[in-house]
Structure 1
Amino acid sequence: MLQSAVRQVFIALMLTTSAVALSPSEQRGQTFALNNCARCHSVDKVTESPLKIAPPFRTLHKRYPIESLAEAFAEGIQTGHPSMPAFQLDPDHIHDLLSYLKTLE
């Protein structure tokens, strides 16, 4: 429990200092990732994913061209890792999330 609290504070500090350099779109993408993805995935440049089988977002560009994820986000990702919930994003959220993912490359 204490480890989780320390991790959350660390992430908040990292995101606060890095958010200064982010564009509004990138900031919205970061917020979306924090609210919807950070429970399982690392959504920053340094921490480990809370769920070990969930890839850190900073490595996604090594697996896929980031732009190629737009279609998957629009159609709804239904796989990924076994405990990943199905979801579908609207075009604005897709743009923001992809903008943020590009900052992690």
Structure 2
Amino acid sequence: MNCLAPALLAVGVLWSTSSQALDAEQRRAEALLQQMCAQCHAVGRSGTSPNELAPPFRNLGENKLYDPDFLQRLQDGYSSIHRFMPTARFGRDDAEGVVSYLRAIQELRKPK
């Protein structure tokens, strides 16, 4: 049994990290968002946004990411209601990657 414990531990670690690993499309989208958005937003799974008015991308919430129009808005030119955010426009493949990446990094909401 003592020989089996390290193997089970290794399998558990690999299992838990593989579910959090990003695929190639998501890594490409993360790099794109770092280039286009990180001046104001926290783009990854941790960190604070450089601009306190810009929400971290990991906290966008399901309502936006699962909105059927969000993908199209990314392609048409997504802009915010505030005047300082530049319009971001993505090709279809990049927009799909961005949505996939954003879904992958969302923090679970704590129950109230």
Instruction: Map 1:1-105 to 2 at 5 A.
Output: 21-62=21-62, 64-68=63-67, 69-105=70-106
Residues 37/80 of structure 1: CA separation in 2 closer, same or farther (3 Å cut): farther
Q: Helix, strand or coil: the match of 2:60?
A: helix
CA contact (8 A) 1:28 1:96 kept: yes
Q: Which runs of 5+ in 2 are unaligned?
A: 1-19, 107-112
CA distance in 1, matches of 2:46, 2:30: 15
Q: Helix, strand or coil: the match of 1:47?
A: coil
Letter of the structure 1 residue corresponding to residue 105 of structure 2: L
Larger radius of gyration: 2
What is the number of equivalent residue pairs in this alignment?
A: 85
**More off after superposition, 70-79 vs 39-48:** 70-79
Write the deviation string for residues 27-85 of structure 1: whole angstroms up to 9, x where unpaired. 111111111111100011221110111111011125x3413221220121232432111
CA distance in 2, matches of 1:52, 1:103: 23
Q: CA deviation at 1:88?
A: 1.4
Write the deviation string for residues 5-31 of structure 1: whole angstroms up to 9, x where unpaired. xxxxxxxxxxxxxxx921011111111
CA contact (8 A) 1:53 1:81 kept: no
CA distance in 1, matches of 2:83, 2:49: 15
CA distance in 2, matches of 1:88, 1:67: 18
> Structure 1: which 4+ aligned runs deviate by more than 3 Å?
none
Q: TM-score, normalised by structure 2?
A: 0.68
Q: CA RMSD in A?
A: 1.7
Q: Helix, strand or coil: the match of 2:99?
A: helix
